[in-house]
Structure 1
Amino acid sequence: MAKGSEVSAKSMTTSTVAPDWSNYTDEEILKFRFKDLKLSIAGTEVEERVKQLYAEMEAKGLSFRPQIFLGDEWFSPEGMNAISIPFYLAHSRLKSLEKNLMLDVEGGNAEWFMRLLRHEAGHCFDHCYRFSKRKKWHQVFGSPNEEYQPDTYRPQPYSKSYVKHLDNWYAQAHPDEDFAETFAVWLDPNRDWKKEYGRWPVALGKLEYMQSLAQESVKLKDHSEKGRLPSSVKNLTTTLDKYYQKRRREQADEYPDFYDSDLRKIFNGDESLSKREFSAGRFMNRNRKAIVTSVAWATSERKFTIDKLVRRLVERCTQLELRLGKSETQTTMEVASFLTGLVMNYLFTGKFKRKV
């Protein structure tokens, strides 16, 4: 079994052995420290997709190749020509654990994985050649010194000044993300960006600028930083249990109130109705999965975030002893619409509020 979790353009091992924890329960796996999982990229889907990235870069005439390693999340370390791939993507059992605990697996299918990988490669492109220090870069994308608030930025959904790649109009989060998103669209062999953005002059200008940087980069020296890879799983001594506890705390928002008046409008059944048969809390629990899926599809927000909100609403419905007063179909539609409004406001402001 390969000892390292990194892979570079120059070398990739070709085989791996499934760890003996692959059939353990979630509770048993959570007791492991990251470094003791002995994860490797070799022989996994991750390795094949890294090869795909390198092939796409070669087809575009790019000479740099990001170093890929297994870390605790998707990111490119500041200033480094390296990309961290979440550890759980290296093994199907860990993908299952991630799904069970967080409800979603970010990058869990080939298309999603490649979109994220191209985006992170865009950050590496800048790390290698420091384009963001140029005056022209600032004129095209804005200042990289702008305040960075990727979780609370206010996107303009209909703007034609940005490419569309990752969900939630992520190019609008910050100039650095705009650059990475533009690079990802430019790199994607399945997108004809000249045609796709032909009537979006500002976004097209960014893509054309990216094309010129790519051509120039062949003659440039790589200035990316070297050194120890941060959060590499081969060095992490924390347990998976502590890691997931921390993630769940970070992603669980503090909901200021639960809109009793709105809930009473949706669940307006008379108090004389059977609590067991018409309980709003029981109804929400029965339909929780369908509601979460519907709202996630409508908003592109993480299922975990939505599920946490639904659970709190269930609790409040139970406390208020609310009852169904309409058909289940009508009530499901009203609940989904209500939650979609709350979540969309969360995307714009970082807070769940009744009104934008």
Structure 2
Amino acid sequence: MFSFDKASSEIREILDKPIRELGLKLEGSLLEKFVQRLYRELDRKGLKKFRPPCYLTDEWGCPSGEPVIGIPFYLADRKLSLLEKELNDLEDSRQIMMYLRHEAGHAINYAYGLYKTPEWKQLFGPYRRQYRDDYRPIAFSRSFVRHMEGWYAQKHPDEDFAETFAVWLTPGSKWREKYKGWPAMEKLLYVDRVAKQFGRVDPVRPRGRKDITVDDMEITVQQFYEALLSQQPSPGDLSLDAELQDIFKSPHHRTNAVRPAAELLRENRKPLVDKLTYWTGVQRPLARKLVESIESRARELNLLANVKREREYLTEVTVYATALAMNYIIRGKFVQR
């Protein structure tokens, strides 16, 4: 578990600073190249007039109905990125572009008012449908594309459109081949047709209203992360001992080719969380808590991993965590009592 008191000196020096006083700017930061890459992708797809403004805020997203893209502030600063990596698994370059393409889908929907049209409603559903964070997706449904982790297109009609747009926009996605014969193809063809229709048309709403920006954030860096951590879900009381002891069995003979199982799990935490979230649909914070619980219990039990069997261990842990996650999706709990 991360401790602010034990953070590195360069991280500690920013913890007490109000976020608004950090001088964070998108322009000139490492993020700027990703935004420019998004704009180039839009241009190559024939969208000559659509350039959604981007700004730094507290999380990824477009304010509802507003054609602007909010990007997490921690991605604009190296020290903040180090802190985020410790706490929440920092996005890599691939994931940053995935999020940008997804949010661009929301932005173009709002910029041209597509969600108001009968065809959009017929394909994606009512825009005013209530959002639910605890939605239970139908795994492997061919009526929806796959872009972001989980089965995110199934969360809401607006997310369905944003995911569809992102797949269409992604270079090399080969969506015509991948989704051939899927009901989702009709949605992709709609996006392709709309892009041609509005490619050289000015947006109805070229600029939108931003919600909270970094200049509005008076809380300190530590206060921000403490609040964020307090809101993260808990996997509950998990009984993991029997399964973990079965996975990391003690060697039958003495060997020096071992290391702590928790160390192996810590090194592979992010890919484990990535795949668990992508294939099961469990929300990322909860998936991370589950993987951390497995890692923590392995440490408490002093379990060892034979270095020659590490791939086997990771396969077993992945399957085990997936089974727990699917239990949660279906029954609302990782473990049934």
Structure 1 and Structure 2 fold alike (TM over 0.5): yes
Equivalent residue for 1:84?
Answer: 70
1:211 Cα deviation (Å)?
1.9
- The residue number in structure 2 matching 1:146 is 129
Letter of the structure 1 residue corresponding to residue 234 of structure 2: E
Name the structure 2 match of 1:250: 231
> Pick from 229, 239, 242: which aligns with 1:264?
242
2:6 aligned with 1:29: no
- Decide whether aligned partners of structure 1 residues 174 and 312 sit closer, same or farther in structure 2, where only a CA change above 3 A counts: same
| Residue 43 to residue 136, structure 1, CA distance change in 2 (3 Å) | same
Partner residue of 1:8? none
After superposition, where does 1:148-297 map in structure 2 within 5 Å?
148-150=131-133, 152-200=134-182, 202-217=183-198, 218-219=200-201, 221-223=203-205, 226-227=208-209, 229-251=210-232, 253-259=233-239, 263-264=241-242, 266-267=244-245, 285-290=262-267, 292-293=269-270, 295-297=272-274
- The answer (yes or no) to whether the contact 1:70–1:233 under 8 Å persists in 2 is yes
> Which residue in 2 is equivalent to 1:65?
51
Number of corresponding residues: 311
Contact 2:26 2:56 (8 Å CA) reproduced: yes
Q: What residue is the counterpart of 2:3 in the other structure?
A: none
CA contact (8 A) 1:71 1:85 kept: yes
Instruction: Give, in angstroms, the shift of residue 313 of structure 1.
Output: 5.5
Q: What is the DSSP-based 3-state SS (H/G/I as helix, E as strand, rest coil) of the residue aligned with 1:127?
A: helix
Distance 2:305 2:30 in 1: 48
Displacement of 1:292 in angstroms is 3.2
Quick check: which has more Rg, 1 or 2?
Answer: 1
CA deviation profile, 1:265-288 (whole Å, cap 9, x unmatched): 5537xxxx9xxx9xxxx9654444
- What do residues 314-349 of structure 1 show as CA deviations (whole Å, max 9, x unaligned)? 777899xx6869989587765553333223444x35
TM-score normalised according to structure 2 size: 0.79
Counterpart among 299, 302, 310 of residue 276 in structure 2: 299
Contact 1:88 1:98 (C-alpha < 8 Å) held by counterparts: yes
Q: 1:221 to 1:145 in 2, by over 3 A?
A: same
CA contact (8 A) 1:258 1:316 kept: no
1:96 aligns with 2:92: no
- After superposition, the Cα gap between the structure-2 partners of 1:313 and 1:214, relative to the gap in structure 1 and judged at 3 Å, is closer
In structure 2, the residue matched to 1:105 is 90
User: Is the 1:71–1:87 contact (alpha carbons within 8 Å) kept by the matching residues of 2?
Assistant: yes
Farther-moved stretch of structure 1 (203-212 vs 284-293): 284-293
Asked if structure 1 preserves the Cα contact closer than 8 Å seen for 2:262 and 2:303, the reply is no
Consecutive unaligned residues of structure 2, counting only runs of 5 or more, are 1-7
Rounded Cα–Cα distance in structure 1 between residues aligned with 2:37 and 2:227 = 33
Q: Distance in 1 between matches of 2:213 and 2:244?
A: 48
**Aligned residues of 1:293 and 1:303 also touching (Cα < 8 A):** no
Partner of 2:23: 38
Q: What secondary structure sits across from 2:184 in the alignment?
A: helix
CA apart distance, 1:193: 2.2
CA RMSD of aligned residues (A): 3.4
Q: Please state whether the residue corresponding to 2:69 is helix, strand or coil.
A: strand
1:51 aligned onto 2:29: no
1:80–1:224 Cα contact (<8 Å) kept: no
Do 1:65 and 1:81's aligned partners in 2 also have CA atoms closer than 8 Å?
no
Task: Determine the C-alpha separation between the residues in 1 that align with 2:123 and 2:79.
Answer: 44
TM-score, normalised to structure 1's length? Answer: 0.75
